[in-house]
Amino acid sequence: MCFSEAHAQWDAQISQYWRVKNYYNPSFAGEADSLEVMGLYRAQWMGVENAPKTLIGTAHMPVNFLRHKHGVGVQFMNESIGLFSNTTVGAQYAYKKKIKKGNLNIGVQLSMSSITFDASKIYIPSDSNNDDDGSGGTTGDDAIPTSGEASSAFDINLGISWVTPQYYVGLSTTHVLEPSFDIGETHSAFIGRGYFLTAGYNIKLRNPLFELQPSFLLKATKSVYQVDVTGRVVYNKMFNGGISWRKDDGFVFLLGLNIKGFDIGYAYDLNTSAISAVSKGSHEFFVRYNLPLNLGKTEKNRHKNVRVL
Residue 276 lies in a domain: no
Domains held by the chain: number: 1
pLDDT digits (tens, 9 = 90+) for 107-135: 999 999 988 888 777 777 766 555 555 54
How remote is the C-alpha of 209 from its chain's centroid? 30
In a domain, 168, yes or no: yes
Report if residue 244 sits inside a domain: no
Say if 154 falls within a structural domain. yes
Domain housing 209: 19-120+146-232
Torsion-angle region of residue 248: left (phi > 0), alpha (psi -120 to 50) or beta?
left
Residue 188 within any structural domain of the chain:
yes
Report the 10 Å Cβ neighbour count for 73.
25
Whichever domain contains 176, its CATH number is: 2.40.128
In a domain, 263, yes or no: no
Please indicate, yes or no, if residue 135 is contained in any of the structural domains: no
pTM beyond 0.75: the answer is: yes
pLDDT tens per residue across all 309 residues of the chain: 565 565 566 688 999 999 999 999 999 999 988 999 999 999 999 988 888 999 999 999 999 988 888 999 999 999 998 888 899 999 999 999 999 889 999 999 999 998 888 877 777 776 655 555 554 445 566 666 666 677 889 999 999 999 999 999 999 999 999 888 877 666 777 788 999 999 999 999 999 899 999 999 999 988 889 999 999 999 999 999 999 999 989 999 999 999 999 999 999 999 998 888 898 899 999 999 999 987 765 555 455 555 554
In angstroms, the Cα distances linking 45 to 123, 143, 249, 273 are 22, 28, 12, 12
The verdict on residue 211 lying in a domain is yes
